[in-house]
Amino acid sequence: MSEGIFCIRVYGCQMNAYDGDRLRSAMTELGWEESSDAFASDAVIFVTCSIRDKAEQKVISELGRFRPMWEKDKKPKVALLGCMAQRTGADIAGKFPWVRVVAGPRHLGLVPRSIAESMNGGVFMHLDGDAGEKMDLECAPVPKVNPHKAFITIAHGCDQFCSYCIVPYVRGRFASRPPEGVLAEANRLVNRGILEITLLGQNVNSYGKDFDGDAGNYRFASLLRDVAAIKGLRRLRFTTSHPLDFSDDILDAMKSCPNICPGINLPVQAGSDKVLREMNRKYTRDQYIDAVKKIREALPEVGLTTDLIVGFPGESEEDFEESVSLIEETRFALVHSAAYSPRLGTPAAKREDQIPDAVRSMRLARINELQSRISHEINHEHVGRVMEVLLDDAAPKGKGLLQGRTVTDKVVLVKASAEMTGRFRSVKITGASPWCLEGRLL
Ligand code: SAH
Ligand code: SF4
Ligand code: F3S
Shortest-distance Cα residue to atom 19 of ligand 1: 165
Q: What local confidence, expressed as pLDDT, does residue 139 receive?
A: 64
Tell me: pLDDT of 259 over 60: yes
| Cα–ligand 2 centroid distance for 162 (angstroms) | 5
398: pLDDT confidence band, cut at 50, 70 and 90?
Answer: confident
Domain spanning 386-441: which superfamily? Answer: Nucleic acid-binding proteins (2.40.50.140)
Q: How far is ligand 1, taken at its centre, from the CA of residue 49, in Å?
A: 12
Distance CA(218)–CA(354), nearest Å, equals 42
Closest CA to 197 of 232, 156, 221: 232
pLDDT of the residue at 290: 96
**What's the CA gap between 414 and 80, in Å, rounded?**
39
pLDDT tens sequence across 103-155: 999 899 899 999 999 999 999 999 886 645 566 766 666 655 678 999 999 99
125-134, 167-176, 232-241: range with lowest mean pLDDT:
125-134
User: Is the CB–ligand 2 distance for residue 155 below 6 Å?
Assistant: no
**The domain defined by 5-126 carries CATH number 3.40.50.12160:** yes
Q: Where are the domains of the chain?
A: 5-126, 146-261, 386-441
Instruction: State the pTM of this model.
Output: 0.94
**Ligand 2 pocket: which of 14, 203, 206, 340 to mutate (most atoms <8 Å of CB)?**
203
C-alpha–C-alpha distance, residues 134 and 119, integer Å: 23
Confidence of residue 322 (pLDDT cuts 50, 70, 90): very high
With the CA atoms of 169, 174, 180 and 183 taken in that order, what torsion angle do they form, in degrees rounded to the nearest 10?
A: 70
C-alpha of residue 15 to centroid of ligand 3, in Å: 7
Shortest-distance ligand to the CA of residue 14? 3
Say how many Å lie between the CA of residue 139 and the centre of ligand 3.
21
Q: Can you give the pLDDT at residue 214?
A: 81
What is the structure's pLDDT at 180? 95
Backbone angles phi, psi at 99, to 5 degrees: -80, 110
CA separation for the pair 243, 247 (Å, rounded): 9
The per-residue pLDDT of the chain, averaged, comes to 94
Q: How far apart are CA 402 and CA 424, in angstroms?
A: 12
In CATH terms, is domain 146-261 a member of 3.30.450.40?
no
Averaged pLDDT for residues 325-347 = 97
- Angle, vertex CA 23, rays to CA 17 and CA 26, nearest 5: 145
